[in-house]
């Protein structure tokens, strides 16, 4: 039945940039998330709940239990976090045909339409592929345009049949050129959107710009270079390893005199919500912050 992966695989935790440039952390739901998951379902509108479950289920512990602590082999699940609150859920359950799993999604009503389900589908498919799942099957209400569009546009090979008031969508999870290029396009749109607020400052320091390929901070910095930013751009990371051929600094303070005389724009990926908001937030010298929490790449206010 494929390769089994640890209950909490490292790859299952990821920070993604959404279509509007904001970010969200995806992670597997743990047993202690039961109450938060119940709150999530209780917060959904009647229509969203109906579309998710094709009816009006009793929202209690029994409903959420199968989604907690996924083993990935039989069941996989990711929650999307909005700060401490669960704002989205994507889950699969393997069917008797070992290569196929049924998949379903739900996103908090006020956060729908920002590309969260699309990103969750990408991640869940990659994780399912690790345990030998080759196909996702979804039962979708025929009038559920948003879900059908996500499946149609994601880039997977799909087939669709409608019978007895339900549309069955099948997605082949094997990577294809189309899939890779759609994911690249979405990455590009998302990272570009995340950069829009950056383009007025004289200087930009990207804190947490890692030399590693495809890290969010590193990609942010590379996009600043690609975007022909006219000011000075400085990568800052703990190792001081250069990024895209540009010398990096271990802290903003190390950048030195020229930068401190300039105005630095404050933008964060939201991780400041985890207690990293710099205490000098209201002062003139701020920083562009991108923190790769997977590597604990945080920068404390004292190191600025
Ligand atoms: C269906 C549902 C999960 C979709 O979640 P979502 O996060 O709003 O979906 P996305 O934002 O990823 O996609 C929605 C739309 O954006 C589009 N989209 C997403 N990412 C995109 C991107 N990077 N570029 C362009 N379009 C994109 C999708 O094609 C879709 O098209 P639309 O805007 O014309 O509707 C959500 O509406 C929901 O929770 N509904 C209630 C529960 C439900 O229906 N579950 C399905 C059971 S299988």
Q: Which of 158, 184, 210 is the last residue of a domain?
A: 184
Residue identifier of the C-alpha nearest atom 48 of ligand 1: 104
- Residue 143 has a pLDDT of 95
Please report whether residue 189 resides in a domain.
no
- Residue 238 has a pLDDT of 84
List, in order, residues 6 or more apart from 136 with CB less than 8 Å away: 92, 100, 101, 102, 103, 124, 125, 128, 156, 170, 171, 173
Q: In what order do the strands lie in the sheet with 14-17?
A: 14-17, 23-27, 75-82, 85-94, 100-107, 135-140, 166-172, 157-163
Q: Which of 133, 150, 184 is the last residue of a domain?
A: 184
136 and 226 fall within a common domain: no
Mutate to test the pocket of ligand 1, among 111, 117, 140, 152 (most ligand atoms within 8 A of CB): 117
Counted residue by residue, the chain has a size of 304
- Residue 35 has a pLDDT of 97
What the block records as the tokens of 172 is 């082949």
Give the residue numbers spanning the domain of 147.
Answer: 10-184
- Residue 207 has a pLDDT of 79
The DSSP result for 95-133, as a single string, is -SSTTEEEEEEEE-GGGTTSSHHHHHHHHHHHHHHHTT-
175 and 121 fall within a common domain: yes
pLDDT digits (tens, 9 = 90+) for 193-208: 877 655 556 677 787 7
Cα–Cα separations (whole angstroms), residue 226 to 119, 143, 187, 191, 297 = 24, 41, 14, 12, 24
Q: Indicate whether residue 109 lines ligand 1 (CB < 6 A).
A: no
44 and 163 fall within a common domain: yes
276 and 166 fall within a common domain: no
Q: Which of 150, 184, 218 is the last residue of a domain?
A: 184
**Burial zone of 250 (CB within 10 Å; 0-12 exposed, 13-18 middle, 19+ buried):** middle
pLDDT digits (tens, 9 = 90+) for 248-269: 988 877 876 444 333 343 333 3
Q: Indicate whether residue 107 lines ligand 1 (CB < 6 A).
A: yes
User: Atom of ligand 1 at shortest distance to CA of 119?
Assistant: 12
Q: The domain spanning residue 148 has which CATH number?
A: 3.40.630.30
Q: Indicate whether residue 182 lines ligand 1 (CB < 6 A).
A: no
- Residue 229 has a pLDDT of 73
Residue identifier of the C-alpha nearest atom 47 of ligand 1: 52
Q: Indicate whether residue 123 lines ligand 1 (CB < 6 A).
A: no
Using 70 as the pLDDT threshold, list the residues of the chain that sit under it.
1-10, 196-202, 256-304
Residue identifier of the C-alpha nearest atom 18 of ligand 1: 115
Please report whether residue 122 resides in a domain.
yes
* Residues 236 and 206: beta-carbon distance below 8 Å: yes
Please report whether residue 4 resides in a domain.
no
* Residues 294 and 13: beta-carbon distance below 8 Å: yes
User: Atom of ligand 1 at shortest distance to CA of 106?
Assistant: 39
- Residue 299 has a pLDDT of 36
- Residue 67 has a pLDDT of 96
90 and 122 fall within a common domain: yes
Q: Which of 79, 185, 63, 123 is nearest to 136 (CA)?
A: 123
- Residue 124 has a pLDDT of 97
* Residues 229 and 204: beta-carbon distance below 8 Å: yes
Say how many domains are in the chain: 2
């Amino acid at each position: 039945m494929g390769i089994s992966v640890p209950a909490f695989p490292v790859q299952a935790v990821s920070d993604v940039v959404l279509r509007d440039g904001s970010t969200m952390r995806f992670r597997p739901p743990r047993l202690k998330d039961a109450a938060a998951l119940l709150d999530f379902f209780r917060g959904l509108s009647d229509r969203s709940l109906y579309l998710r479950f094709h009816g009006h289920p009793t929202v209690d512990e029994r409903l959420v239990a199968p989604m907690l602590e996924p083993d990935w082999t039989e069941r996989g699940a990711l929650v999307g976090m909005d700060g401490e609150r669960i704002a989205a859920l994507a889950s699969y359950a393997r069917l008797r045909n070992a290569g196929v799993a049924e998949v379903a999604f739900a996103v908090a009503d006020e956060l729908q339409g920002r590309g969260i389900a699309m990103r969750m589908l990408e991640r869940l498919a990659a994780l399912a592929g690790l345990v030998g799942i080759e196909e996702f099957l979804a039962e979708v209400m025929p009038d559920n345009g948003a879900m059908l569009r996500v499946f149609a546009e994601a880039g997977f090979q799909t087939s669709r049949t409608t019978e007895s008031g339900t549309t069955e969508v099948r997605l082949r999870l094997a990577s294809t050129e189309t899939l890779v290029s759609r994911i690249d396009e979405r990455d590009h749109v998302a990272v570009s959107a995340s950069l829009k607020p950056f383009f007025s400052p004289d200087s930009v320091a990207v804190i947490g710009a890692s030399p590693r390929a495809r890290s969010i901070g590193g990609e942010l910095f590379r996009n600043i270079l690609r975007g022909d930013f006219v000011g000075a751009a400085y990568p800052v990371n703990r190792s001081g390893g250069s990024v895209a051929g540009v010398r990096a600094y271990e802290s903003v303070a190390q950048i030195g005199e020229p930068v401190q005389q300039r105005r630095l724009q404050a933008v964060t990926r939201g991780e400041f919500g985890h207690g990293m908001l710099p205490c000098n937030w209201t002062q003139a010298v701020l920083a562009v912050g991108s923190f790769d929490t997977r590597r604990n790449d945080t920068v404390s206010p004292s190191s600025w």
